Amino acid sequence: MKTHSHQWLDQRSLALHQLIAEKIRRDPELFENVKRTLARWSKTVCANSQPYLEEWQRLVNLGIKECLAVATEDSERANAMRQASPFCGIMSNEERWEFLLEWAKNHDASEQDIKELRQKMIEAQNLLEKNNYFEK
């Protein structure tokens, strides 16, 4: 699978967060998942992610509008913030995988790239389940 530039990855993350923001705007109760994720991560966060999680917590405390504004902002700051995004549980794995496959198809991925992406998704799902990543 070919490697992609940081810009390509940042644009993909931005597009994904735009979909997540739309979903939260349609169902604001989903924002509670973000709060729970931050609370859970605050107990196990690595030092590199701590500043981002503290900033996400500050934004969450300000409210949905402010938090989603940063999540969907096209800036270096927002790109960095999205690397430690507490929005991971908003979309189902199926929704996320569908997005990732469509993104790859629409952004010059080969059939082999798509096949490898599907395999990585399966491996990632298995690892996440094995490590009890998902909230029960």
Cβ neighbors of 119 (< 8 A, separation 6 or more) are none
pLDDT per residue over 44-97, tens digit each? 878 888 899 999 999 999 999 999 999 999 999 999 999 999 998 899 888 888
Instruction: Give 44-53 contacts, CB < 8 A, sequence gap 24+.
Output: 49/84, 52/80, 52/81, 52/83, 52/84, 53/84, 53/86
